[in-house]
A and B are shown apart, each in its own frame.
Chain A
């Protein structure tokens, strides 16, 4: 690559960094003060683009129309954010943090369908910016004027934010509350107002970051999650809560990405290597490297834990005989179902069994081990692909099914080694990053994994071909695996994991190697997720990269949280309800996401302890009454 081409790529990188920075700064500010990982932040960005598109259409593409439209789009999204905070999140500040995260994910679903309803499924590209529609010659090449504007926008917004946060009373309050929310509250800061305004500002930045993209990028319905993973990476690389860090990280990632595109295909030692394909993962590689050396990001600091945020889990008791009987009755019922139900129900039940195992394996590391994974689908998907690939390479189906979980387990062993070095939200982000890396490898490796088409013809052996035979296989394997995972929680191994979660300091002082323990737990959960994935692959007969995508990981989170993270059985209840709901709702309406989101929000507001947690509370209340 020539020097001038290199320079142009540098400018390209800086131009795309600006928008990324705006969105990331918004996320960072919101996280700093509310400690909510706002999954809906990408949706705000998407709303920004769509709104700007419509406003510019309405106002006309003139000077005032365009720039006014872009700015108004930011403001509209800002107001929307404030509204969401007041009407929804406000009610959840006392709920455990993870449930707040779940609420923001429900918003993702609702906003996605809202956009589909208003703007339709077509990609929409906005007009060019009046006054900046041309190109200038730089280093002998044409470079869009608009991109030069974007390059300048980032530093200007950084400066304005810096002035706002350091030179105004409001900014001082925000910084104080970011540092120590309880103390700021104790000093009489009106938190309600502060939270709303911070949410409005963060949403405005996300909306504006989207709006300025309209001449460069078409508005697409899937951009909410795409930008979200980019922004997560920027915020984590920069350091949670650090605005200059977000800027630095956005520039770093923007530039590295642009270079990868610029370099293109390179032949090294006879091997063709495509750098442009690398763009899908490069940011996650950067993140993994940065976190390995600076666990709190480039300019971040270790986060103080919010005091007493989550209620302490009650001690675990071995299930009573009544519980065991109920469990046995449940299994017997499931075993008898094929005699009375149709084929469709059996397929749905098989799905439920598979996802119950997936959710229980996720709960195993999230609950007892206290490691919140945002990328658990990676191990599910890798198990599924392992099964498919073994079958394709002439391994008998039974053996493929037996070996496939190792695909998930070994990946978890490898990724987990890095993940357990971090904790809290950083760990969550790193799991997400690894899942994205795994996804893009699978997505791009056409020759081996079938690329975006996936693999087809993954059918079970003939003796399992009938619907009920495979159902029984799924029932036996999933039930056995779930029971094994549950029992594991009561063994010394499970106690050690809970010990490491409750107090790493004390665990260390009684001779427990905390990281090793968590590492083993992580790998084990990956192994069981891999088993779920393998069963899934054979039940569907095909497998696609969707099986390890971020939405699949989020499905797992929703199941665990809907069921209630503090109960062992919750994950199964959550998986059943979620899978069933998804099935019912997708058949009812085109806007199934919005409906699902609304149901999740309703469940959250009605049962903040999760379904199983709610049932347990009722049970205990009744037992208490009958005792007295």
Chain B
């Protein structure tokens, strides 16, 4: 079943058509990569879906509900989780408290002025941290974590609202190659185990071809190819777009 349906999505900045009439669908449990050269419109496309930017035209529906015009926090309420290219966590809190804060809002307890936050949803937070392999570091402050660990924490936070869709912007940016593979493997496992649809943008072609079920290729705001990794790799137009950078073909060992 397709839970995300995007049709003819468009956005222009002045005279630049950053995203033009992009359409695609995403099924539960599927990992969909959004790739393209710099300036192809990946980030814009992404921000149209997560509420950061308002679309000029087209539609985006999540489980039948339109995402257009919604604020990020409203989209989160529908059951969409997000991670950022540069991790965004609460630095003055411990790893566990970061997840707890997200859980507090998920359970509608955020404005409680009676309970002590530290004691709420402890087990649930620990269970989420265990899923991303961060249970041992639960009591450490986020400010002192290694970057790869921070990415895992962010993933745990993003899972707190039991999302059916995860939007991950450059999930492996800034990480060492070995860590990248580990994080994406973890993401893929989580997605399949909980039937979560994942849409991610990515620069690292190793990651894309190893983990994506399907790939969308954007160029100059247009969707130029879509399909399974092997199909995309064989696509003539995609080869032309990436020719010269070599990034797509150097990745065949993946």
Contact = CB atoms under 8 A, between A and B. Distances in A.
Contact of B110 (A312, A493, A505): A493
Nearest to A313: B92
A503 B112 contact: no
Interface string B95-110: 0010011101110011
A496 B104 contact: yes
A502 interface: yes
B164 to A, nearest CB: 15
A318 B119 CA distance: 10
A506 B143 contact: no
B116 A511 contact: no
B88 A512 contact: no
A491 B117 contact: yes
Nearest to A490: B116
Contacts of B141: 312, 314-315
B111 A312 contact: no
Contacts of B160: 510
A506 B73 contact: no
Contacts of B104: 492, 495-496
A360 to B, nearest CB: 16
A510 B161 contact: yes
A182 interface: no
A501 B88 CA distance: 12
Contacts, number: 109
Most B C-beta atoms less than 10 A away, residue of A313, A499, A507: A499
Given A510-B105, A513-B73, A490 B91 contact: no
Given A312-B91, A492-B109, A502-B92, A512 B117 contact: no
Nearest to B77: A511
Given A498-B90, A499-B90, A506-B90, A312 B143 contact: yes
B111 A496 contact: yes
Contacts of A509: 50, 72-73, 76, 82, 84, 88, 158
Contacts of B91: 312-313, 502-503
Interface in A476-501: 488, 490-496, 498-499, 501
A59 to B, nearest CB: 57
B72 A508 contact: yes
Contacts of B16: none
Nearest to B51: A508
B157 interface: yes
B3 interface: no
A510 B92 contact: no
A491 B114 contact: yes
A177 B113 CA distance: 44
A494 B117 contact: yes
B206 to A, nearest CB: 27
Nearest to A513: B73
A81 B240 CA distance: 62
Contacts of B157: 506, 510
Interface in B133-182: 141, 143, 157-158, 160-161
B113 A315 contact: no
Contact-residue size bin, chain B (C-beta under 8 Å from the other chain): 35 or more
Contacts of A503: 88-91
A502 B89 CA distance: 8
B111 A492 contact: yes
Most A C-beta atoms less than 10 A away, residue of B50, B92, B93, B104: B92
A511 B101 contact: no
B94 interface: yes
A607 B112 CA distance: 36
Interface string A177-203: 000000000000000000000000000
Contacts of B82: 509
Interface string A308-323: 0000111110100000
B118 A318 contact: yes
Contacts of B92: 312-316, 498, 501-502
B76 A488 contact: no
A499 B116 contact: no
A490 B94 contact: no
Interface string B1-24: 000000000000000000000000
A221 to B, nearest CB: 42
A506 B88 contact: yes
B120 interface: yes
Contacts of B120: 492
B110 A315 contact: no
Contacts of A498: 90, 92-93
A509 B168 CA distance: 12
Given A315-B92, A503-B91, A511-B73, A492 B84 contact: no
B234 interface: no
Contacts of A495: 93, 97, 100-101, 104, 110, 117
Contact of A493 (B88, B93, B111, B161): B111
B115 interface: yes
Interface string A507-526: 11111110000001000000
Contact of B76 (A312, A493, A494, A510): A510
A105 B133 CA distance: 49
A507 B112 CA distance: 17
Most B C-beta atoms less than 10 A away, residue of A316, A488, A494, A495: A495
A505 B143 contact: no
A499 B93 CA distance: 8
Nearest to B104: A492
B137 to A, nearest CB: 13
Contacts of B90: 498-499, 502-503, 506-507
Nearest to A508: B72
Given A501-B92, A506-B157, A511-B105, 13 more contacts: A312-B91, A314-B92, A315-B92, A318-B116, A490-B117, A491-B115, A503-B90, A506-B84, A508-B73, A509-B50, A509-B82, A509-B88, A510-B73
Interface of A: 312-316, 318, 488, 490-496, 498-499, 501-503, 505-513, 520
22 contacts: A312-B92, A312-B141, A315-B93, A316-B92, A316-B93, A318-B118, A491-B114, A492-B109, A492-B110, A492-B111, A492-B112, A492-B115, A495-B100, A495-B101, A496-B101, A496-B105, A502-B93, A506-B88, A508-B71, A510-B106, A510-B160, A511-B76
Q: 10 closest Cβ contacts across the A-B interface?
A: A506-B88, A502-B90, A511-B76, A313-B92, A312-B143, A510-B102, A495-B117, A492-B112, A511-B73, A312-B91
